[in-house]
Amino acid sequence: MFMHIRLSTQFLKHLIAAVFFGFISLGVLADDVDEGNTAYQQQDYQAAFTAWSNAALKGDADAEYNLGQLYRLGQGVQINYLTAQSYYIKAAENNHPLAELQLGTMYYSGKLGPEQEEDAFYWLEQAAQHNNAQAQWMVGIMSYNGQGTSKNSIAAYSWLTLASEQQHPQAMLDQAKLKTGLTAKQLDLADALTTSFKQKQTALSEIQQQEKDAYYWLHQAAEKGDGHAQLMVGDMLMSGQGARQDLVAAYSWLTLASEQLEPKANIKQAELKPKLSVEQLASAEHLTTMFKQKNTVKTPTRQQKVIAKMPVSGPSVQTTLTNETRYRVQVGSFKTEQQANIALTNITKSSSKLLSEQSSIITKPDPNASKADFYRVQFGAFTDKKDANQLCQQLTNNKQACFVVKVPSQH
């Protein structure tokens, strides 16, 4: 018969020596997190503390979790369980499974005062729901014993099964013991719970992948200056949807979207700003400035006519657009002049060998057009269509979409 079991002291010691690092953070925060990881591996705990503190100021969950570990283990700082708890909670609020696991373990072990089994069960169940095998085992044992929750042998068996399927050694032993004390009906109900959990995880995984794909393409558009995409990227980073939650980067994107008069961006900014510290707001402003500097293009002169350096030789390219000019290579059309300028810069950089000697132009929308018109980015000033076609083919080979347009004589 499966006996009443308390989570063992040996296991709790094992948790303390468990994997220190969370997942490596991506994006603008990676440098600080990676720097901290490297320092920690070299046992330079003070340097790790400094690097992770910088990343934590930007809302990085891995950095928050790692700082909690330093304070819990007394590495580079004095042991302080309450400070560790505060960092774990910050990370756990961003759905960090290891932070949830450590919170549950600290509550269970009494490191935060007298044993608080309900709080322990709450956080361990959160980690278990995020498919952490150790948490699933602990929740299984607590469910069986009625610790911090109602006694439930069926739920216990289901959690132990899930942990066992992840090769958790103690869960495999406990599952086998518990099975002998359950009826066939109880086992069927437990199996149904296990199946339901797996189906939920599969559905969640598919949704997360769709969100990641959406974030990828929206981020591409946001980098090119699309205001609505910047709003969406900011919103997704704010909620951690499709990407790791990053409140600083979120605020930066929302700022850029606001400056393009995206109405919802101001609302989101007002919602997020009170959650950020002075340091975080300064970091967000720095990101915004960096983006603008990277994407700034000087406004073309001569009323958006030819502005780039012209080739010394080449009969089909001229220094001005005369009546003889007939063809250009168009690489994109955009709703705003800012988007067109950003695209001009990016395309010139990505195809510099092909375009460094070509003229460039951004045409303005026709105010008298019968339907919506756009800012168009075009290169070259060719009298021979074959030359325009040749440039377009070279750009296509360089993975840049384009097509040749015929220019009216007086344009």
Residue 409's pLDDT band (cuts 50, 70, 90): low
pLDDT beyond 90 at 332: no
CA-based nearest residue to 144, from 3, 313, 318: 3
**What pLDDT is stored for residue 149 in this prediction?**
93
**Average pLDDT value for residue range 66-72:** 93
Query: How many angstroms separate the CA atoms of 103 and 198, rounded?
Result: 25
Q: Structure pTM?
A: 0.57
Q: What is the pLDDT of residue 84?
A: 94
Stretch 94-121: mean pLDDT, rounded? 89
Report the range of poorest mean pLDDT among 248-257, 267-276, 337-346, 352-361. Answer: 337-346
* Mean pLDDT, rounded, for 300-306: 36
Q: Mind listing the pLDDT tens digit for each residue in 166-223?
A: 999 999 999 999 999 999 999 999 999 999 998 888 887 788 788 888 888 899 989 9
Q: At 313, is the pLDDT very low, low, confident or very high (cuts 50, 70, 90)?
A: very low
Task: Please tell me the predicted confidence (pLDDT) of residue 2.
Answer: 38
In this predicted structure, what is the pLDDT of residue 31? 63
Give me the pLDDT at residue 152, please. 94
Chain mean position to CA 402: 31
DSSP 124-168: HHHHHHTT-HHHHHHHHHHHHHTSSS---HHHHHHHHHHHHTTT-
What the chain holds in terms of domains, given with CATH numbers, is 32-201 (1.25.40.10), 214-296 (no CATH), 326-407 (3.30.70.1070)
Structure tokens at 73: 């283990």
Per-residue pLDDT at 324: 55
How deeply is 221 buried, as exposed, middle or buried, from its count of CB atoms within 10 A (0-12, 13-18, 19+)? middle
Of the chain, the percentage scoring pLDDT greater than 70 comes to 83
Residue 230 clears pLDDT 60, i.e. is over it: yes
More confident residue, 136 or 206: 136
Residue 309's pLDDT is: 36
Which pLDDT does position 24 carry in this prediction? 30
What does the pLDDT average to over 331-345?
Answer: 79
Q: Which residue has the higher pLDDT, 380 or 371?
A: 380
Of 67-71, 275-279, 295-299, 356-360, the one with minimum mean pLDDT is: 295-299
Residue 301 CA to residue 253 CA, distance in Å, equals: 29
Whole-number mean pLDDT of the chain?
81
Q: For residue 406, what are the β-bridge partners? A: 327
